[in-house]
A and B are shown apart, each in its own frame.
Chain A
Amino acid sequence: MNFDYTDDQKALKDEARKFLTGCSPLTVARGVLENPAEGHDPVLWARLVEQGWCGAAIPETYGGLGMGYVELCALAEELGRAVSPVPFASSIYLFAEALLVAGSEEQKQALLPLVASGELLGTVAVSEGPGVLTDQAVAAQVIDGKLSGVKVPVTDGLVAQRAVVLAQGASGAGLYLVDLTGPGVSREFLSTIDPTRGAARIAFDGAPAELLGEAGKGMELLSRVQDRAAILIAFEQLGGADRALEMARDYALERFAFGRQIGSYQAIKHKLADVFVKNEVARANAYYGAWALSSDAPELPLAAAAARVAASAAYWLASKENIQTHGGIGFTWEADCHFFFRRARHLALVLGAPRDWKRRLADRLELRLAAELAEGN
């Protein structure tokens, strides 16, 4: 039992924090907010690539550093804390994981080294419109290796060169690899609630598509990929929630009303204590998820859903109460509070909304209980 990062992991995390404090201050996110067309900061992205972060958890056989998932979680926590405007989650937590989960040896050999070196940026394209993503909601179709349909919104869809696309094939929904720079693909900028994480509407019209994983198993494979991404994103959420709480605490110490620090009022103290408790709930569940991910434990699906639900709730509370603690100033464009508010919701929606994950969580609890009963304990 060890509920903590190891010393090496801590050192990595400290390094990452120092690095991001230097090259990803909130002014970088603000640059993208003010000029959302690009949807990320290419200079910052280049720095991350230089550091080798893209390959952190990708096995050495596929050109990565093979450090392991707890290390990747540590980086995620710091990226979340910095609200960094980079396509890391799309390319690493989702695209690379999709290849690792579903790819053939050949596909992995061909693409993972490029992802690890940052030469190739990938994303996943699943949603087609408002509402929960279900099998029936997928209209995009692959016929004779050609994909047609519309995916919207696709986070990082403008900058990615490849996408894993969920589409109907001859035997039901499957995952397909598509070259976004190739023929039959048109992409449009999409304005979103978090402009620091750009998105696109992508229309496919006979774009060449290559099957990834077993045909007809798209929903199942996607769910496995999303479980892994959910844990990594939970660390981004946790990092953001911690930082939002620190901002609120710092402001509550500085700001006076009625001749006293606002932090001296119990209304504010209890508010921030509530946020702290929620963050601890998120931390506990996220750490458990990190362990499950790094050890490929059978608990992974349950731990992932719990990590995601807890982290989404914590970041929501922390980001909205950070604004509330700041008063009017917190509601301005100029203040930094809204970066966290926007990012909190982006992260909570980008793998499917919390209500979807609560449902998955309850389903998995049923399986767990059934298994416990079967074991007779």
Chain B
Amino acid sequence: MNFEDSPEEAAYRQKVRAWIAANAPDMSHLTPEERRPWQEGHKEVASKWQAIKADAGYGCISWPKAWGGAEGTAIDEAIFNQEEARAGLQFNYFTTGLHMLLPALLEHNKDEVSLSLIPPAIRGDKIWCQLFSEPSSGSDSAGVRSAAVKDGDDWVINGQKVWNSGAQISDYGMLIARTDPDVPKHKGLTAFWLDMKTPGVEVRPIKMMSGDNELNEVFLTDVRIPDSQRVGEVGGGWKVIISTLMNERAAFGSVSGLNWRDTMKLAKQVASWEGTAMDDPAFREWLADLYIDAEAVRLLSFRTLTSLSKGTAPGPEGSVGKLLWSGMAQNLSSQALDILDHGGLIDDPASALMNGAFQHRFLWAPGLRLGGGTDEIMKNIIAERVLGLPGDVRVDKNVPFRDIPRGR
């Protein structure tokens, strides 16, 4: 047990801290509004930064050299991420591609075309999105209805995807389609990658309750793609889903967003009965509770790293971390609005404290408890896979997909 950097790690940290300081992109020209993810100015800075990192070998630190990585350790990568966060450089545009989809792609496909997709993704020139969820297939990720039908050497895909983060600016997508509705649902799925400009792909943004637009619906109408863009085996789509979801949950430890430090910064500026909110004993007690959860999320991510660096699969801490972290985001934004009191009502970035970041988070947090696996699904995983409790009675397991009861 040791939570300090080893001498090598400390040296690496020092090196990357200096490098980041020397190369960090200038964000001072961005307005408060533009500092929010998915705003044009914000994305431009992110792309620039990704290219700078890629040129210096920090684009994908832990990947093998053959894939364009630096063959660093998972710990090196985590250190780099921590230092980036420390410098206020937290961008999510490339995570889906680099940490979820492309590793899964390369796990299943080793051909040259697949490999050629990597370098532009590492440089941030090409962005990837995940086209898994559908109107009737969210938690039930094997419930996909979009159909892929073989036609010569091609597949023809029809259906609808939804909640696809970043599809509106993505160059490529990885999608799951049903290739056989006559077998049980997990067995009839196949994964593909595709260029988002392929004829028949239509992306329509969804406005979320926070007012942001980075989720999308993606309609697929007679989309024709060659069999060479299949990922894994025909009928092997479920395996690809599992690979990406494992990658996703393993990545949650390093999640960005407002934390206890920001909350304290706010509390120190907000008047209370005596002094500031920071002087209020009830707030202090709440803060202590927040901190232990936040710290657990951070430290549990080290457990993931430890497993990864020993070459063993990460444990259930991914689900624990996801559950804690999204609940925390809701809790801390709610508490922040409460200490702001009447001031919590104001969400105009120009006049609210800290640019209204907490108000914005407040309206975003409900989505965090859903995306990447809902609270309920995380708890099912913990109860069933970790504690070994029996699963729910399943009516959808051993019947052909087309016979599964469906509602809306």
Contacts and interface: CB of A to CB of B under 8 A. Distances in A.
A190 B348 contact: yes
A267 to B, nearest CB: 4
A150 B162 CA distance: 46
A333 B211 contact: yes
Interface residues of B, number: 62
Contacts of A22: none
A112 B200 CA distance: 64
Contacts of B276: 131
Interface in A312-361: 316, 320, 323-324, 327-328, 330-335, 337-338, 341-342, 345-346, 348-350, 352-356, 358-359
B375 A324 contact: yes
Interface stretch (A82-90, A174-182, A253-261, A296-304): A253-261
Contacts of A356: 341
Contact of A349 (B270, B341, B371): B341
Nearest to B369: A324
Contact of B396 (A193, A259, A332): A259
A212 to B, nearest CB: 20
Interface size range of chain A in the complex: 35 or more
Given A327-B139, A328-B133, A341-B366, A132 B209 contact: no
Most chain B beta-carbon contacts within 10 A, residue among A137, A258, A337: A258
A153 B345 contact: yes
A193 B347 contact: yes
Contacts of A354: 338
Contacts of A201: 351
Contacts of A261: 407
Given A153-B345, A191-B348, A259-B394, A320 B330 contact: yes
A130 B353 contact: yes
A132 B371 CA distance: 34
A316 B338 CA distance: 12
A129 interface: yes
Contacts of B353: 130
A327 B370 contact: yes
A330 B374 CA distance: 12
Nearest to A325: B376
B183 to A, nearest CB: 15
Given A190-B351, A192-B345, A259-B394, A131 B369 contact: no
B37 interface: no
A259 B283 CA distance: 45
A316 B366 CA distance: 12
B33 to A, nearest CB: 12
Interface in B329-350: 330, 334, 337-348
A127 interface: yes
B79 to A, nearest CB: 34
B344 A332 contact: no
Given A130-B271, A130-B353, A153-B342, A331 B208 contact: yes
Nearest to B376: A267
B49 to A, nearest CB: 29
A258 B379 CA distance: 16
A178 to B, nearest CB: 18
A127 B296 CA distance: 37
A133 B407 contact: no
Nearest to A338: B209
Contacts of A255: 407-408
A199 to B, nearest CB: 6
A130 B353 CA distance: 8
Contacts of B56: none
B89 interface: no
B347 A191 contact: yes
B344 A324 contact: no
A134 interface: yes
A265 interface: yes
A133 B341 contact: yes
A90 to B, nearest CB: 13
Contacts of B338: 348-349, 353-355
A334 B405 CA distance: 27
B206 interface: yes
Given A127-B343, A324-B369, A324-B374, A345 B337 contact: yes
Contact of A265 (B337, B342, B348, B392): B392
A259 B404 contact: yes
* 4 tightest A-B CB contacts, nearest first: A130-B343, A131-B271, A259-B396, A256-B407
16 contacts: A191-B346, A192-B345, A257-B140, A260-B392, A267-B380, A324-B370, A327-B374, A328-B162, A330-B366, A331-B209, A332-B206, A342-B363, A348-B338, A349-B341, A352-B342, A353-B338
